[in-house]
Amino acid sequence: MLELRNITKTFGSVIANNDVSIIVHTGTIHAIVGENGAGKSTVMRIAYGFYNADSGQILIDGKPVQIRNPHDAIALGVGMVHQHFMLVDTMTVAENIILGAETGSAASLDIDKANRRIKELSDELNLNIDPKAFIEDLSVGQQQRVELLKALYRNADLLILDEPTAVLTPQEVNDFFAILRRMKEQGKTIIIITHKLEEVLAISDEVTVMRDGRSVGNVRTADTNAKDLARMIVGRDVLLRVEKTDAEPGGLVLEVRDLVVQGRHGVAVDKVSFTVAAGEIVGIAGIEGNGQTELIEALAGLLKPRSGQIEFEGRDVTDLGARRLKELGVAHIPEDRHKRGLLLNFDLAENSILGVHYRPPIAAASGFISSAAVQKRVGEIISDFDVRPPVAELPAKALSGGNQQKLIIGREFELDPKLLLVSQPTRGVDIGAIEFIHKAIIDLRDKGRAILLVSAELEEVTALADRLLIIRDGKIVGEVDPKTTSVEEIGLMMTGG
């Protein structure tokens, strides 16, 4: 279906793809795996016309083709769903799907015809998407399905999916994979870029492994396993489990009492109470959209609670804003790195000082920012957290999602916080970096810091947390010991089963 021959692509002095060749067979699900910055997304964006290769050749159905832009790709039956959805929140599903491929004439848009076609496609694959629904009212999993429908509406036979499960719950992942299998049965060809090896083994027929901009291996999924794939990806053996000693909690750092936080559609956090002590990791497990986002943002000073109390080291900080809380020793790794974590057009150096740009040593005695202090700080973050490419002058938007995450984590860890609020720490991060981030979180705990962790990855939150709170409909509905409680039991508490 698709063959990429000797693809090379550079961005300035950075070699993103170096003589990459990949063959994808018709009617298969083909996984592409590798570390952050290995060149996976870049080479697939070349196949979609988002970038143009410096050299190399693209073949579709065995014939050489010119793909200069996404319009060329779409005309050849190639569709792509990007890691960060490209949807307009205030428009309907149908309006988003036909954008750029409108039905009817320039004078009269035939939205009814589009609605009927989208409904047919949705029913065909059992997607359960209402063409008239507004994007802002859909869950993340439903928005993912809209992106699929957008590609199918344009008659895509080859679908490229970039980190498609990064923002889905375990149940949504299962549903999504069922959809992919139905599409494969209909003759579609699917390429999935992912970091999750268990998903690779569950869904794909073949796997291409990339490292340092090169294709370093291609294997049939049935002939490999997670350990071997991890070794191919990183170039060394990788610990596929979290190793930590038992926590030794100290004094209370955070105490939350009867907290109520207003969300967009009503009360998001409903009379929540809990504590976090020094030297422990308290995890929060729940299906996304059950108040986790609003809870963390209220604790970080980004949302003002409607009622209740937040105490930090015995002091009432309920009404303090984000800057003051950061000054007191509260660090925040947000779930949405683009919306809350980075200024994408700023370079790595500028992003590395966000939140501390007005304080010594970044702010010199003269009142101006010290260039030497900025370079020292960004250099340490890039080195300590293996941010790639290690170029401080690059804009943050030039990094892969996983390297953007490492930049944010490095910046917050450099604060040496007393309390770390962390949401989805390894979303879109490769297996080697996951191992590194998990170890960094545990090391911070072992230094006596308090950590509140939210993760949609049940295996992650149960492996890292010393105590686990279950949230549903904005309420804490239980507390369990993650060492003695099964993932199935936790899942039932999350869904009210």
Task: For 463-485, write each residue's pLDDT tens digit.
Answer: 999 999 999 999 999 999 999 99
* pLDDT of 430 strictly over 80: no
Q: What is the pLDDT of residue 106?
A: 59
Structure tokens at 376: 């020292």
Bridge-based pairing of strands 2-11 and 55-60 is antiparallel
Which residues, at least 6 apart from 417, have a Cβ–Cβ distance to it below 8 Å?
329, 330, 331, 444, 449
Question: What is the CATH code for 2-234?
Answer: 3.40.50.300
Structure tokens at 186: 């209909």
Residue with token string 């063409």: 131
Q: What is the pLDDT of residue 100?
A: 82
Read off the pLDDT of residues 163-195 as tens digits, 9 standing for 90 and up.
Answer: 888 777 677 788 889 999 999 999 999 999 998
Structure tokens at 441: 């979180």
Task: Return mean pLDDT, the chain.
Answer: 92
Structure tokens at 422: 């962390």
Read off the pLDDT of residues 249-262 as tens digits, 9 standing for 90 and up.
Answer: 999 999 999 999 99
Structure tokens at 57: 């050749």
Helix H or strand E segment including 281: strand 281-285
pLDDT-derived band at 14, boundaries 50, 70, 90: confident
Highest mean pLDDT, choosing among 35-44, 74-83, 232-241, 275-284: 275-284
Q: What is the pLDDT of residue 225?
A: 94
Distance CA 490, CA 493 (A): 5
Residue with token string 């039991």: 489
Q: What is the pLDDT of residue 261?
A: 97
Contact 281, 464 (CB under 8 A): yes
Contact 461, 284 (CB under 8 A): yes
Distance CA 136, CA 93 (A): 10
pLDDT-derived band at 205, boundaries 50, 70, 90: very high
Question: What is the CATH code for 252-495?
Answer: 3.40.50.300
Q: What is the pLDDT of residue 165?
A: 83
Query: Model's pTM, two decimal places?
Result: 0.75
Read off the pLDDT of residues 79-131 as tens digits, 9 standing for 90 and up.
Answer: 999 877 889 999 999 999 999 888 666 567 888 989 999 999 999 888 889 99
Mean pLDDT of all residues in 211-234: 93
> First vs last Cα of the chain: how many Å apart?
44
Q: What is the pLDDT of residue 104?
A: 66
The percent of the chain in helix, strand and coil, each rounded to the nearest 5, is 35, 25, 40
Contact 154, 118 (CB under 8 A): no
Cis preceding-peptide flag for 389 (omega within 30 of 0): yes
Phi and psi at residue 232, to the nearest 5°: -65, -40
Read off the pLDDT of residues 375-422 as tens digits, 9 standing for 90 and up.
Answer: 999 999 999 998 988 999 999 998 888 889 999 999 999 999 999 999
Q: What is the pLDDT of residue 240?
A: 66
Distance CA 420, CA 426 (A): 15
Distance CA 328, CA 317 (A): 10
Q: Is 50 exposed, middle or buried (0-12, 13-18, 19+ CB in 10 A)?
A: middle
* Residue boundaries of the structural domains of the chain: 2-234, 252-495
Distance CA 482, CA 463 (A): 7
Mean pLDDT of all residues in 420-432: 87
Plot region of 391 (φ>0 → left; ψ -120 to 50 → alpha; else → beta): beta
Q: What is the pLDDT of residue 431?
A: 82
